[in-house]
Structure 1
Amino acid sequence: MSVPSTELNEVLDQAVTAVTAGGELLQKRYSESSRPGDLDEIVRAIHANDDAVLALIKEPLLTARPGSHWVEDELASGLLPEGEWWVVDTAEGNINHIHGMSEWGVTATLVRDSVPLLTVVHLPLTGDTYTALQSGGAFLNAEPLHSSAKTDLRAALVGTGQAKPGEDEESLRHMGASVTAMLLKALVVRVSVPATMQLIQVASGRMDAFWQFSDVRSGLLPGALLVSEAGGSVTDTRGEPWSLGSSGFLACAPGLHTQTVKVLSDLG
């Protein structure tokens, strides 16, 4: 059963309010001079950010969509149970935030039967808010987004990155091989975290492709909806339809999809 667009628009408005409030709190906790000294300090700072924002935005988001559920583990992967779920990253790019870097924000995506219905990405340092509704377009501060029109991978700015710390060695070697392969084919390859910060660039047409050999939901769902609603192609790395059950992810300009899939598929 489809959800009426007017109903989703109301939920989106409430989600924007909640996510923006979370971003404002995260900005108050931000310092350009922050330099954690060891792993224990890093872990404490990450959890402190997550806990502070979670306490502020969880209830408003659940209230915005009565009957919805909350995904507790933001690093979890795979298909969700039936029904509607909020997949939220209370500090997307938390590692950047606690090191005084600028690429971080707050995201919330409402998912129904493992398909994203709406998403909000708020970047407090710039005041930018990216939104998308299923079949309703993608926007930056209410202005429509459009993916890149490029058709030649040799002119493309592409990117990838880790999904999370502690990934298995095989996945990391696969990622490294893909970077090498793209360095030989694309104009420039960017490797950074988090995924959402690159995916909003793909949706905006500033970057041309992003791929990842991972299925961490919170890092992929916002960008997947933004890119697809901006006219981009979203598949797995072999060009097949992407879902939360896929083992690889690719979002790119439609004119580059075939070329990009070939490079990634040739990795084996």
Structure 2
Amino acid sequence: MTNLLPAVTTAAREAGARLLELYSPGARPPGRDDMFIAGHRNEDAAGPPLRAALASVRPEARWVEDDDEARPLPDDGEWWAVDAVEGNVNHVHGLPEWCVSITLLRGFEPVLTVVHQPVGDHTWTAVRGGGAFLDGHRLRASAKTALNAAITVTGQAEAAQTGTYHRLGDSITAMLAEALMVKATVPSTFPMLLVAGGQNDVFWQFAPVLPGVAAGALLIGEAGGVVTRVDGRPWRPGDPDILATAPGLHRAAVDVLS
């Protein structure tokens, strides 16, 4: 897998450069239609060239499509889980928290990931068994062991996920009683990157979109963190929820959330 990193990193950086040309810190779309027009423009600029580049790197790998995200993947072969504009809503509002997220899965496991944030020129990489890195520097999950010192984050429910709204609200209420800080945000990738780097301590999400959590799951695991279902069972791509924590906080987070 390590031999794939240079080509995948180049693909991510090239897609990021296309998006950076379209990015303005002063962007303020006046309405919903304007947001969607800008978002589709971004996807059209970055998505097809990125897909072509990755297909040339691993032509036999299949692609996680929208209808694959809510079910476990077949336990064979390789799959690309890609978001060419992760955090698109931030891009079109002039915020810096957007990126190109690429993860290669083999069966049920993420095995390689590259996340490139063009604003600031930062790149996260991980290969299963090889550690997690930010701009070449090794990442370590937090050493905290008490939730009352923990920064915890959940991913906001996607549009039309009405069945998760009450569960999300209940989980935030439960965590507010135990943690130092509780946040809800999008996209999922950035709080998970911070768990891998030790700045955040706990992340959970109900009904996650696979390209939004696959990269973070590998990076957190390789940084020494713990990734499971919310109830503590093993997590696999396509599962209906995810919990990622510093190692010393996992049991407490499971107890609060389940």
Q: Name the TM-score class by shorter chain.
A: over 0.9
Offset of residue 133 of structure 1 = 0.5
Pair 1:70-2:60 in alignment? no
- Structure 2: distance between partners of 1:62 and 1:254: 36
Q: Structure 1 residue 39 and structure 2 residue 32: aligned?
A: yes
Tell me the CA shift for residue 103 of structure 1.
0.8
CA-CA distance at 1:10 after TM superposition: 1.7
Q: 2:110 aligns with which of 116, 135, 139?
A: 116
Closer, same or farther: CA 100–235 of 1 in aligned 2, 3 Å: same
Work out whether 1:178 is the aligned partner of 2:174.
Answer: no
- 1:79 is aligned, of 69, 72, 78, to 72
Match of 1:190 in 2: 183
Does the 8 Å contact 2:24/2:94 carry over to 1? Answer: yes
Unaligned regions of 5+ residues in structure 1, if any?
A: 1-7
Q: Does 1:234 align with 2:227?
A: yes
Unaligned runs of 5+ in 2: none
Measure, in 2, the Cα distance between the counterparts of 1:70 and 1:248: 21
User: Quick check: 1:10 aligned with 2:3?
Assistant: yes
Count of matched residue pairs: 257
Deviates more, 1:157-166 or 1:116-125: 157-166
Instruction: From 86, 92, 101, give the equivalent of 2:95.
Output: 101
Alpha-carbon offset, residue 214 of structure 1: 1.5
> Percent identity over the alignment?
46
Query: Equivalent of 2:215, from 206, 219, 222?
Result: 222
TM-score (norm 1): 0.92
- Per-residue deviation, 1:163: 4.5
**How many angstroms apart in 2 are the aligned matches of 1:75 and 1:187?**
36
Q: Report the RMSD for the aligned CA atoms in angstroms.
A: 1.4
How far apart in 2 are the matches of 1:109 and 1:245? 14
The TM-score with structure 2 as length reference comes to 0.96
Question: Is the CA contact (8 Å cut-off) linking 1:74 and 1:218 kept in structure 2?
Answer: no
Q: Say whether the 8 Å CA contact 2:144–2:249 is kept in structure 1.
A: yes
Could you list the runs of 4 or more consecutive aligned residues of structure 1 that deviate by over 6 angstroms after TM superposition? none
Aligned equivalents of 1:144, 1:78: Cα separation in 2: 32
SS in 2 for 1:31: coil
- The 2-side partners of 1:54 and 1:154 are apart by 42
